[in-house]
Structure 1
Amino acid sequence: MPSFSKLYDSFKNGYVVAVLSVLLAFIAVAAVVYKPLTTKSNPVVQSQDISEITKLVGNRHKLEYLLLAQPLSDFPRYVFKYKDADEINVVKVPSTSHTNLEREVLLKHAIPYAIAKDEFLNANRAILEDEEAQRSALAEAGAFLARNAIGIALLVFLFIGLRKGMPSLGLGSGASVIKPENLKGSMDDLVGMEDIKREVAHLEEMIINRDLYRSHNIDKPFNVMLTGPAGTGKTKLAGYLAKKLDIPLIQASGSGLESGFVGGGSKALNAIYKKAVAQGRCIIFLDEAQSLFMPRGRGDKKWDDDTANTLLGLLDGVKSEEGSGVIWVVASNFDDANSQMDEAMLRRFAVKINFRLPNKSERRELLNVFLSRKNVECIDWSNLNLDYVAEITANLSPALLETVVDRASMIAIQEKTLIDTDVLFRAFERASIGLTDRATTAEKNKERERVALHELGHFFMQIDPYVRQGLTWDEVKAKSNLLKISTESVSKIGALGYVLSSASDVSLRTLEEMEQDVVQLYGGVAAEELFYGARGISTGSQNDIQKVTSMLDLMVNRLSMYSRSKLDYSQLKSEHSPEDALRQVEAKADELYTRTLDAMKDYKDLISALTGTLLERYVLSKDEVFALLAELTEPPRKAA
């Protein structure tokens, strides 16, 4: 039985800590509520303009950092700061838009980002709420503390007194162990991806034949790093591997390891590791772990890298005897080819498997698999051209293809019809473009006419190279990647019309092809100038011009396509390079826009003839456009 003096010391220490805790709470509340002049923080500029995120593609070289605050909430916030600015920019977006922005802007253009830590958010509270709401909430908290100070002190004392007798409350200890028999699916569910399957088979062989590798003095843990675009099956692969090896799986999120407490991430990792060791043989899967691979030493607080440092030690297998059966598998949407990563962390992974987007034949097979899971009476197989659907869905991940098929089911159910090519096309359009609306511009005839001219300008500049080769309309149609021209508004991207085209699986582009892309983007504004004059150009070309600017910056400054000296001028620190680069971009933009305007004049009569039909129908499919062109005239110009 403990002596009275020890009990007294325990009570005294607990009481002192309780009182100090309450006092510190009062001080913290008062400091924030009254905001003394000594508080230093960057001014915060809040917005809900999604275009601010798309601008990051062209301004990435100016970025000091990009963070995501509350990424799993209904309204995630993009937090970024430019190197030459004092203010912190905050863009609040709906969760549905966040998913598309992350895929089409951040991942597609390899813009590095991380999850905003609580320390950062606490230091910049205006990021999460406006000042008045914050002060009101804090004032209420202060009043609550004042009214209940004694009760809070007693609760703190009881917590401290019972702390040693309580079970571990370590963060991450709630991560559950999934037995192999409870894991769904198998490696066969990875349609195509034969290169990835071979890598996994090799990994499986290494794990099973561990003794053979020890004979070659290879005894390090076979830590595995999975990289590649979102939705390509990295998470599923970890489950398939555990099921194939017949060992349990522990899954945790890389961003979920970061807590508001110093050392919280380290405690979570150690708790997960101990749980894995207790299983003997086990896979620990860390999903969305890109934040753990960022170079260390970037923060000004010594504990900023604690989680990464702890992971480094565990990956090394320092406790090799007790953790020899633990395999670490981490997944990241970035790799060291498109994002700067910590070299020490990369060296810990003996096996790196890079996922890719499916090619056309794999997309066709994936679509067939997803459709085959539905009842046979739901599909009109006789009117289903999977080759065409696979063609138009280039660059979509397996997850997005499944979304397209599910969306097709919803459309079929609503319209009481069967899934066919047309339904899948509309599902693809809904997934890629979003909701379209005719009512927004239904009674605005002048605006609709301008939109029709603008979109037709894009179309004619898309087919212009084929027309100038002297091809017939049928031959031009076969080469064109047009899907439809629409004057319906799209709220998701803030557009009053659009030209929908199929993409290409091949990402390599030549100088000539990139110049043609610029000319096609300039087609809309050139059509407006052709019909309304230079002073009649509208703000509808803003997005096109932003894309052109980014492309010309890439062509001139980063790829030096117009110079014999092949350098990435964006990395040079010369005082004169920014001005020289600007002049080169301006000169090339002027040249290509002039070329676009001159070419557009040959199509003025055709644009006028098609505009009325487009305004009447709102939408023209590829077949309808070329049928109208064939009725009107032969192509305006043939090659000399």
Structure 2
Amino acid sequence: MKPDSRSLSTYSTFLDQVKSSQVQRVVIKRDRIDYSLKPELGGEQFYTLPNGPTDTLPGLLRRHGVPFTKLDDNGDTSGLVAGILLSTGMLVGMFAWLARLNQAGGGSNNSTPGSSFGSGLGNNFGGGFGGLGVGMGMGRSNARVYNQAGKGKVTFADVAGVDESKQELQEIVDFLANGEKYRRIGAKIPKGVLLVGPPGTGKTLLAKAIAGEAGVPFISMSGSEFVEVFVGVGASRVRDLFNRAKRQAPCIVFIDELDAIGKTRSANPVGGNDERDQTLNQLLTEMDGFDGNDGVIVIAATNRPEILDPALRRPGRFDRQVLVDRPDKSSRLQILKVHARPVKLGEDVDLEAIAAQTAGFSGADLANLVNEAALMAARNNRQAVLMADVNEAIERVIAGLEKRSRVLTPLERQTVAYHEVGHALVGALMPGNTKVSKISIVPRGLGALGYTVQTPESDRFLLLEDELRGQLATLLGGRSAEEIVFGKVSTGASDDIQRATDLAERAITQYGMSETLGPIAFDKNQAQFLDGGSTRRAISPEVAAEIDRQVKQALDKAHDMALDILRLNRDLLESATQTLLKEEVLEGSTLAAILAQVKAPEGLQPWLTQS
């Protein structure tokens, strides 16, 4: 039977048919697999394209009793021919190397055997092994093909909390499903879509949902899988990836972590990575070269768009950039509903309350939260997840695992209690939309001997100047309580001091909240969606000294205000600490009643609103 008369089947369908004993016979070739169904099923002839190496396929066929033949595309003798050609090539390479070595040794009276040998070995063996690797299949891409059909199909219904992003991508889905409508009017669909956003926000899931909605193959590959030590392998894998995509068009090619191969090319060829540059050049050519890729849409994801090469981001390649950001409160509620579907929830579980408590959580964080609560309920032999399990899971995600086995001395326990109550009393008077909801002296995580939880009442996207000063005073409230009670401080405030110093420095160098220095940005933020990554601009020693002076001044004033608040509320600090030492945890109405008694000093408001 001619190959063209066979029907194309997806590789996953072929594997399912093998496992369900529907296949009569299989012929395994180098780039394809021919097979036929059993006569009682019609005896139809099919061919399929494997997703990757087929080394494990013979074992699967034997287990299910399926007869098979393993051939190359040119028959079962091509392996012998390839072996002869490979051996001949290695002999030719060896003779060429020896000839070059001899020439290098006799071409100059100044040459030494050592330098000639090193040069010949590096130039010939290095290039020879590189070419051998590509010839043996190293240049083939390791892309995985997902057939978006059946039970494993992912749709937009499985992706919650990114409504704006889904609307942006709906046009891509419509084009893949109804492309003629756009071609008839002369419109061209974007060749590439770049999904940008912090880690864990659902970029990969969103790309799968596009393929699932359109009902087309989804070819996935990570950016790091292109790059190898051998020059030319990455470019070869890019070519192979797009060749496979063209054969299965219309389809979606998804490249995760695009920044691994898409970094801006170096202006200095000596300092650049030639292999990465070749890979990027090939990707640029495939996306917008002379050969069209009709029906192939490239979707890529990255959390570092600022380092991508400008040629990659221009129209004609990645025409659109879609932001997939951390969810707000309503989006978190939608995400929680999706992840809570398979989980048995108790009647007291309030998803809206959970969404309010998890400001700043990504979609992956929320999925982990629901799973941790379910694990906790199962560990306690419950029939459903209770709100207590969810609250414990939130604290476990934020502060770490509870460690009641960590025994503190009486003095350490007292110090931790005064420290945490100090945070709470100062924080109760500070402006903003957060409220102190829990104090605990139960050790958690790697080093937290106690903690104070502040819950935001609503999502906020800006931090005002008085709120920033309030955060500084709250962070220094624990150390201030230790000073007042014990007359000395402990090492327990180290993390608070670090966070307060970082916040004060950002206020001066990034937010321009200094009258002396003015609205000048002294730090350059080099990571839009990742923590850290900022570098200091070139500044004079005088400016650096002024920045240090301004940071110290802000911290000193916040420290003084925390001391004033706690001295004014000294009796409340003592009674609240004794209650905490007895109960270990303060929350709910008990904590609210204590915080309602906190008195504000006269200088608080002028300090918060000072210009």
TM-score relative to the length of structure 1: 0.67
Give the direction of change, closer, same or farther, for the CA distance of 1:628–1:487 in structure 2 (3 Å limit).
Answer: same
Secondary structure at 1:501's aligned position in 2?
strand
Partner residue, 2:515: 563
SS at match of 1:560: coil
1:510 maps onto 2:464 in alignment: yes
Unaligned runs of 5+ in 1: 21-155, 467-475
2:481 and 2:321 mapped to 1: Cα distance? 49
2:590 maps to 624
Q: How does 1:319-398 map to 2 (within 5 A)?
A: 319-320=291-292, 323-335=293-305, 339-347=306-314, 348-374=317-343, 378-381=344-347, 383-398=348-363
Contact 1:172 1:257 in 2 (8 A): no
5+ unaligned residues in a row in structure 2: which ranges?
Answer: 1-79, 100-124, 524-536, 606-611
> Which amino acid counterpart does residue 391 of structure 2 have in structure 1?
F
Task: Report the Cα distance in structure 2 between the residues aligned to 1:362 and 1:437, rounded to whole angstroms.
Answer: 33
Aligned 1:259-274 pairs, distance under 5 A: 259-274=228-243
Q: Which whole-Å CA distance do the structure 2 matches of 1:11 and 1:451 have between them?
A: 72
Residue-by-residue CA offset, 1:586-618 (whole Å, 9 max, x unaligned): 222222222222222122221211222212222
Provide closer, same or farther for how the CA distance between residues 615 and 245 of structure 1 changes in structure 2, counting only shifts above 3 A.
same
The residue type paired with residue 538 of structure 1 is S
**Could you say what secondary structure the match of 1:583 adopts?**
helix
Shift of 1:267: 2.3
Question: Whole-Å Cα distance in 1 between the matches of residues 272 and 556 of structure 2?
Answer: 45
Q: 1:17 and 1:586, CA in 2 relative to 1: closer, same or farther beyond 3 A?
A: farther
Q: In the comparison of the two structures, how many residue pairs are matched? A: 472
Q: Tell me the alpha carbon deviations over residues 447-470 of structure 1, each in whole angstroms, 9 at most, x when there is no partner.
A: 11111111111111111237xxxx
Name the aligned partner's letter for residue 505 of structure 1.
D
Kindly report which structure 2 residues correspond to 1:463-478, keeping only aligned pairs within 5 A, or say none. 463-465=428-430
Contact 2:253/2:296 (<8 A) preserved: yes
More helix by share: 1
Corresponding residue number in structure 2 for 1:539: 491
- Provide the C-alpha distance between the structure 2 equivalents of 1:280 and 1:519, rounded to a whole number of angstroms: 60
User: Once the 2 structures are TM-superposed, how far is the Cα of residue 435 of structure 1 from its aligned partner?
Assistant: 0.6
Distance 1:9 1:412 in 2: 66
For 2:485, the aligned partner's letter is: F
Where 2:463 maps in the other structure, the secondary structure is coil
| Distance verdict in 2 for CA 1:547–1:163, change over 3 Å | closer
Mapping of residues 187-266 of structure 1, within 5 Å: 187-207=156-176, 219=188, 222-266=191-235
Structure 2 CA distance for partners of 1:19 and 1:545, relative to 1, 3 Å: farther
* DSSP 3-state at the match of 1:394: coil
Distance apart, 1:486 and its partner CA: 1.3
Cα distance in 2, alignment partners of residues 205 and 7 from structure 1: 49
Shift of 1:584: 1.7
CA contact (8 A) 1:223 1:350 kept: yes
Q: Residues 429 and 600 of structure 2 are in contact (CA less than 8 Å); yes or no, is this contact kept in structure 1?
A: no
Return the letter of the residue paired with 1:380.
G
Alpha-carbon contact 2:245-2:251 (below 8 Å) kept: yes
Shift in Å at residue 357 of structure 1? Answer: 2.1
**8 A Cα contact 1:170 1:271, kept in partner:** no
Q: Contact 2:335–2:363 (CA<8 Å) still a contact in 1? A: yes
1:525, 1:537 within 8 Å by CA — same for their partners in 2? yes
Alignment correspondent of 1:13: 92
Q: CA deviation at 1:580?
A: 1.8
1:503-528, Cα deviation, whole Å (9 max, x unpaired): 45223101111111111111111111
The CA distance in 2 between the partners of 1:597 and 1:505, in whole Å, is 30
Partner of 2:599: 636
For 1:11 and 1:594, how far apart are their aligned partners in 2? 78
The aligned residue for residue 180 of structure 1 is: 148
SS of the residue 2:325 aligns to: coil
Q: Residue 398 of structure 1: CA displacement?
A: 2.1
Structure 1's 506 and 291: CA in aligned 2 closer, same or farther, altered over 3 A? farther
Aligned AA for 1:344?
A: A
Number of the residue aligned with 2:102: none
Distance 2:175 2:445 in 1: 51
1:207 Cα deviation from its structure 2 partner: 4.8
- Distance in 1, matches of 2:96 and 2:564, equals 79
SS at match of 1:305: helix
Deviates more, 1:552-561 or 1:357-366: 357-366
Q: Which residue of 2 aligns with 1:312?
A: 284
Q: CA deviation at 1:292?
A: 3.0
Residue 187 of structure 1: how far off its partner (Å): 1.0
Match of 1:501 in 2: 454
In the TM superposition, residue 496 of structure 1 has moved relative to its aligned partner by 1.3
The whole-number CA distance in structure 2 between the counterparts of 1:187 and 1:619 is 42
Alignment of 1:19-168 (within 5 A): 168=136
Contact 1:232 1:397 in 2 (8 A): yes
Structure 1 residues 61-120: Cα deviation after superposition (integer angstroms, max 9, x where no partner) = xxxxxxxxxxxxxxxxxxxxxxxxxxxxxxxxxxxxxxxxxxxxxxxxxxxxxxxxxxxx
- Fraction of identical pairs, as percent: 29
The 3 A distance-change label for structure 1 pair 613 and 8 is closer
User: Per the alignment, do residues 274 and 229 of structure 1 end up closer, same or farther by CA in structure 2, a change over 3 Å counting?
Assistant: same
Q: Give, in whole Å, the separation in 1 of the partners of 2:90 and 2:252.
A: 44
Contact 2:326 2:362 in 1 (8 A): yes
Cα distance in 2 for residues equivalent to 1:384 and 1:302: 56
Q: What is the match of residue 487 of structure 1?
A: 441
Give SS of 2:198's match: coil
TM-score of the superposed pair, with normalisation by structure 2: 0.70
CA pair 207-181 structure 1, distance change in 2 beyond 3 A: closer
C-alpha contact (below 8 Å) 1:487/1:618 kept by paired residues:
yes
Greater mean alpha carbon deviation, residues 7-16 or residues 177-186: 7-16
Letter aligned with residue 274 of structure 1: N
Contact residue 180 and residue 249 of structure 1 kept, 8 A: yes
Query: Structure 1 residues 300 and 341 mapped into 2: Cα distance closer, same or farther (>3 Å)?
Result: closer
